[in-house]
Every structure is written in structure tokens, then in C-alpha cells.
Amino acid sequence: MEDLREKRIWLTGGTGFLGQAVVAELKKQQFHNILVTTHEEVDVGDVDQIRHYLKEAQPQAIVHLAAVVGGIGANRERPAEFFYENMMMGTQLLHESWKSGVEKFVTIGTVCAYPKFVPIPFKEENLWDGYPEETNAPYGLAKKMLLVQGQAYRQQYGFNSIYLLPVNLYGPGDNFDPASSHVIPALIRKCLEAVESGSEVVEVWGDGSPTREFLYVEDAARGIVAALRYYNGAEPVNLGSGMEISMRALIEIIAEYTGFRGKLSWDTTKPNGQPRRCLDTSRAEQEFGFRATTDFREGLKHTIEWYKTQV
């Protein structure tokens, strides 16, 4: 299989949470021509800017990481934006990449593309077995259409487009903004602020019953780079850790590690989101040798310690 390490690799969203980890992993694996652009440098929602950059930089492979993302609250408040922005970024970029002769295109999808009710663990062939969980369906479907597009371009044009489905990520460098953060950084921030203020109560959404799987960001980066180098298949591939934990157990661990000893108040008027999430990760291991290695509790400790240095 061709070694891509001397190729020009363009990362959209390369300065973001996951993007920075992917850049670090590419450098670790001795990639020498990494192209990273900010939104201000290249707006990948603007087809003219895409065309200009492709012509100017002539990347040979693209890892499309840029996305408009957020937790349940942000998805409920901005469903149109989450649908339109993610759909247009990916669709235009993939199309123009094919037109310009890009050799390989890696789309980073989302676990939110899966139907609301799926047998555990989620297998890639379950993707089309139903409608996604309502609170994040617009986002999940927009990203899911990029799988359809990539497979169609492969079938008609022979375009080497692959599609990865990472589960919920966490780790140092995550987004801790309460307006848009995902569950782990949101809970870490709530608990630490409660400790600092002396508050006896931390409010948590839902009833604690849903389960989630989490993947440490450095593990995710290893998986993405492995797929970039070694996977050229048409079928989507899950990237996960294979673990499953309830929201109730998660917040209890975070409370312990942050030193919060007060009461957890469950607001059952707020949505739970998808009932369960846990991926079958066997395809990633079979196809390109990826397996997550970071212990979840250790990853949480690293994340909490990193955030403490930022506040």
C-alpha cells in the first residue's frame, strides 16, 4: 500500500480539539507535508474559497474534521445551522476535491448518524435501520449524507473516499463552553465550579439512565491516521473504545475526581438523548489494526487536570 507520509495532507478543522491531536499524531508518524487552515484562512462553507485553496495548495489527501458541533442543548437550539453548515461544508469539499484530483478523502462522521434504537453494540450495518435520536438528528443526518456521497463518488468516479464514525470524544483541549460543550467537559466544569463556590448541588440533565461510550482524543487521532494510511474501503468504520457507562456512573466518577461532595440533582424535564451508545469496534481492528488503549478513568483524570490549568 502506498505510503502517504510524503504526500500533502490537508486537515480542515486542524486547529480544533480533535484536529490538534491528529496533527500531533501525523507528526509523530513522520508526515512531512501537513496543511492546516483556520476558518479565517479557508472557509470550507464557501465553495470559491475551497476551489482557490485546492488550486493553490494542491493537497493530495484530505482529512475533513471541520464541523459545527455541540451537546444536546446546542443541537436543540440550532438544528437548522447544524444541518446546513455541516452538509454544505462536507458536500462541497468532497465534490471539489474529486474535481481537483485529490487522491484520498477521509470524512469524519459521527455516532449521531446511528438510529435511536439499535442493538448493542452498534454495528456499521445498523446505520440504516431507523431514524436518529431526535435531538441531534439534523446534525447526524447531515454527516450521514457524506457517507452516501463518498460511496456514490467511489462507485461512479473511482474516488477513494473513506468514512469514519467516532463515538463521543473527550480529553485535554476539549470545549468547556457551557453553551456548546459535550457531556464530559460540561460536567467537569459544573463540578469544579460548585467546589469553588461552595455550592451543595450540581444539576444534571435527564434521569441518569442513558449510557454512552467515550474515546480519548489521542486514541481517536491514532485511529484516524491509521485509516488514512491503511484503509481504502467503501464501508464506514466505527472508531470507539468498546466501553459503555451510564450517565449516573459517569457523573459520580467526575464528582469524585473533582472533589465535589454535594448532591446531584437530576432534571428529568430535560432530554436524556439516545438511550444507549456502544460501538462494535471490530472492523477498525480488522481493517487497519486500531484498538483504543487509554483507560477511561485515567483519561478523565488527565482531562480534569488539564482543565484546572486553564482556569
As annotated, the active-site residues are 139
Beta strand 211-212 with 263-267 is: unpaired
Distance CA(311)–CA(302), nearest Å, equals 15
Q: Minimal CA–CA distance to 222: which of 22, 84, 76, 59?
A: 22
Kindly give, in sequence order, each residue whose CB lies less than 8 Å from that of residue 196, ignoring residues fewer than 6 positions away. none
Number of C-alpha atoms within 13 angstroms, CB side, residue 4? 25
Beta strand 245-246 with 211-212 is: antiparallel
Cα–Cα distances in Å, from 244 out to 27, 133, 229, 240, 247? Answer: 31, 18, 29, 10, 10
Number of C-alpha atoms within 13 angstroms, CB side, residue 156? 8
Identify whether the C-beta of residue 126 lies closer than 8 Å to the C-beta of residue 115.
yes
Q: Is 237 helix (H, G, I), strand (E, B) or coil?
A: strand
Specify the DSSP element, H or E, that contains 52: helix 47-57
For residue 304 the three cell numbers come to 480534569
The dihedrals phi and psi of 115, each to the nearest 5 degrees, come to -60, 160
Alpha-helical (H) ranges within 183-241 are 183-197, 217-230
Identify whether the C-beta of residue 274 lies closer than 8 Å to the C-beta of residue 110.
no
